[in-house]
A and B are shown apart, each in its own frame.
Chain A
């Protein structure tokens, strides 16, 4: 490797590694257990919100992915761009958009409030919605790639064996796309777990209800920086595990 490239690559690596190393140095290893125990609520909310959001994202993202992979209709490119929008959108904008539409004074939020008496902003359901909003594109993107890789000839053979569209999807396409779907689930869940901007904007920072780990870290930083470091460590470890798992699913 040319020396110049080596030097730049080394600096690039340092940019990524130094902050993580710094975090590891500052983590109060002796008080780690206490810090984590004190944040039990945030951990619980994070797990509940991320798992529910992933479920929503998979339940809606897989059909969307199928539509994008197999459909052929006008506006398909526009639909794909719309689906992927939250990936590039700043999370806070996602939160503002959710607030504008589903907030109590928003057109849909107001309707839901009037009809069912359900308020979404500043509730756990709102946090789930915010996390679903940002996780859905990841699940859709990866699942679409998985569906595209499925050999259509196999579905055709299944049709000649009497299988209708639903059976072809369930028995042939879906099982073939399982590795990609697994990767989509993992990435979607990681995105939901790390969600900050949309959540804090739309669901607020209510301890035990909408305060997830990232929110807890952000607000602990002023009150008790050591606790923030401990909680950050948790997310670093979880993220590393997720990456390894997703990579394994990809490479397969």
Chain B
């Protein structure tokens, strides 16, 4: 078990994190810029001190200011892959990987395993972003760390190579025996690489669960935006949720009290005339913006309740910005849960 209860001041805000991790899961820490994600990794690696709290890995106390215990980075069994890899520019790829291990043959084994055998004698400046990232991973892995930390592992990889690097990364993360924690701002990356997602916002953990939990039960506007869901927070009475601005949305549940609700944008239907049938949520809205993406078009509709509808490119042709439009959402598509 890895437990990190850490409190530390970081450039103008306070990081206050309670995090537990097991060896049978890959944890992704997700959050907006400046949320403290990288600070958390630096604390785990021992690069920055904890002011109060405790870091314990497999029963070993790595840090406990109250007991004056602080293991330096070089005394922790940690593999740290910083943003953009940060290879040593004056060393070859092999020397980089061998830096942390006793035998140079070990470096060759790992470089081969990651498909980098042709780059053994290359200089870091000759590598692509993806190659540098994998070399940095090999450099950390060669020491077989108890805790593997990756900071934005795909941020410096160009789009063309991202899928390939992500595949190797995924395999390596799965095959690593220790604790694995990665930081990312990209939900796709988190979903592809991790089993569990910890949402960090303004230095605190605001949500912790699987990608499915996050998708269906977002607990903050940030998470809802991240997973692309409509998100509401209000007071429920028999499943009918009243929003702070007076809007009302009906769910199929019988929930009472403080409630949150999510609606998938694809469950929002748009009509040019008042829809027939029995959707429980129907109102006349106003198209504020139309934003095409690769597969769908996202239509932002204001009205009784502001939300986003996802329609096909063909379907979107019927609408234009500024139009009035009828909005319909089935009650069964409104997922309500206690706040």
Contact = CB atoms under 8 A, between A and B. Distances in A.
B74 A154 contact: no
Nearest to A167: B74
B82 A159 contact: no
A176 interface: yes
Contact of A160 (B80, B88, B89, B90): B80
Contacts of B82: 153, 156-157
Contact of B86 (A154, A163, A164, A175): A154
Contacts of B140: 160-161
Nearest to B78: A160
Interface in A142-196: 151, 153-154, 156-164, 171-172, 175-176
B86 A160 contact: no
Nearest to A168: B74
Contacts of B326: none
A142 B79 CA distance: 35
Contact of B46 (A151, A160, A161, A164): A160
A182 to B, nearest CB: 14
A161 B100 contact: yes
A181 to B, nearest CB: 13
B74 A160 contact: yes
B45 interface: yes
Majority DSSP secondary structure for residues of B touching A:
loop
B109 interface: no
A158 B99 contact: yes
B73 A160 contact: yes
A159 B72 contact: yes
Contacts, number: 50
Sort chain A's interface into a size bin: 10 to 19
Nearest to A172: B88
Nearest to B42: A156
B162 interface: no
B217 interface: no
Interface string B65-101: 0000000111010111010001011100000000110
Given A162-B100, A171-B99, A157 B86 contact: yes
A161 B86 contact: no
Contacts of B89: 154, 176
A163 B99 contact: yes
B141 to A, nearest CB: 11
Nearest to B149: A160
A165 to B, nearest CB: 9
Interface string B216-241: 00000000000000000000000000
B163 interface: no
A122 to B, nearest CB: 45
Given A153-B82, A154-B88, A160 B47 contact: yes
A182 B114 CA distance: 38
Interface of B: 45-47, 72-74, 76, 78-80, 82, 86, 88-90, 99-100, 139-140, 143
Top 10 A-B residue pairs of the complex, sorted by shortest distance between their CB atoms: A161-B100, A159-B73, A160-B80, A175-B90, A160-B73, A159-B74, A162-B74, A156-B47, A160-B45, A157-B86
Interface of A: 151, 153-154, 156-164, 171-172, 175-176
24 contacts: A153-B82, A154-B89, A156-B45, A156-B73, A156-B82, A157-B82, A158-B88, A159-B74, A160-B47, A160-B73, A160-B76, A160-B78, A160-B79, A160-B80, A160-B140, A161-B74, A162-B100, A163-B74, A163-B99, A171-B99, A172-B88, A175-B90, A176-B89, A176-B90
